[in-house]
Chain A
Amino acid sequence: MNTKKSRPMVAGALAGAVNGLFGAGGGMVLVPLLISYVGLEDKLAFSTAISIILPLSIVSIVVYWLNGTFPLSQAWPYLIGGLAGGLLGGICFRKVSANFLHKALGLFILWGGIKLLI
């Protein structure tokens, strides 16, 4: 098979595995892969990653639900906030310096990871 054509498949498979196992992190794996491995531009990679992770998450939700993990009653307040936040973030998308946020987010993620490990 043509390697160029198989690259999106490999990227998608990896994202599906991480996203399914952890219920998170598919985008963190997929966006860098789409840029450096598949060769998409940065801004296309982000939006294309959402179009890929969405159906993968639906598959995962169904499997989680079949296994008795379906915490909708605990999830709905976060969903409401998330929807409002997404709209708000979309409006001021161009006005924020992302570099600072990347560093801050990285530190926070690192802290969370260490906390879970110890």
Chain B
Amino acid sequence: MNTIYTCILVGLVCGIISAFGIGGGSLLMIWLTAILSMEQRTAQGINLLYFLPTAVAALLVHNKNHMVKWKVALPAIACGCITAALFSWVGNHLELNLLRKLFGGFLVVVGFCEIRKKPKKQSDSSPSMER
């Protein structure tokens, strides 16, 4: 279950789903923790690294299409960097089992919201790239 090919395949599937904008990052985390039973912290480290190349590629495309609202992004980044540093430190010092349970609780809430989400109109609401 944990050969290089399986890893690449799982990465591929999560990458496709992420590109649809429906949280592929959490899928990889579930694979690593709930299915492979990997240590929670290591899985988190892998997931953070996993996000980087995909995000850079996506951002280059979105920015070129003027799809990034920098007026919103910049203040969010400024504050977010502080809490990210703080809570990453916390995440690295929490007891592993507690961290795992907290994440499990978070997933239950997120999963529940995802199921309850109202369906959107489809047809012509596909993202138009023309400007």
Contact = CB atoms under 8 A, between A and B. Distances in A.
Contact of A99 (B12, B112, B119): B119
A67 B36 CA distance: 23
B104 A86 contact: no
Interface residues of B, number: 99
A54 B18 CA distance: 14
Which of B43, B49, B58 has most chain A Cβ within 10 Å?
B49
Contacts, number: 368
Contacts of A111: 30, 34, 111
Interface in A13-34: 13-25, 27-28, 30-32, 34
Which of B14, B80, B99 has most chain A Cβ within 10 Å?
B80
B52 A58 contact: yes
A19 B80 CA distance: 9
Contact of A56 (B14, B16, B81): B81
Given A97-B122, A109-B30, A8 B72 contact: yes
Nearest to A117: B104
A72 B49 contact: yes
A7 to B, nearest CB: 8
Contact of A78 (B46, B80, B82): B46
Nearest to A118: B104
Interface in A26-68: 27-28, 30-32, 34, 38, 40, 42-44, 46-48, 50-61, 63-64, 67-68
B51 A63 contact: no
B62 A25 contact: no
Nearest 6 A-B pairs (CB), nearest first?
A85-B15, A81-B11, A89-B19, A23-B44, A12-B76, A113-B107
Interface of A: 5, 8-25, 27-28, 30-32, 34, 38, 40, 42-44, 46-48, 50-61, 63-64, 67-72, 74-75, 77-90, 93-94, 96-99, 101-103, 105-117
16 contacts: A12-B75, A16-B79, A20-B91, A23-B47, A24-B103, A48-B67, A50-B59, A60-B48, A64-B48, A75-B46, A75-B49, A88-B12, A98-B21, A102-B119, A109-B27, A116-B100
Given A24-B28, A54-B52, A80-B11, 15 more contacts: A9-B79, A15-B80, A16-B83, A20-B85, A20-B88, A23-B44, A28-B23, A31-B21, A51-B59, A56-B80, A69-B42, A84-B12, A85-B11, A107-B115, A112-B107
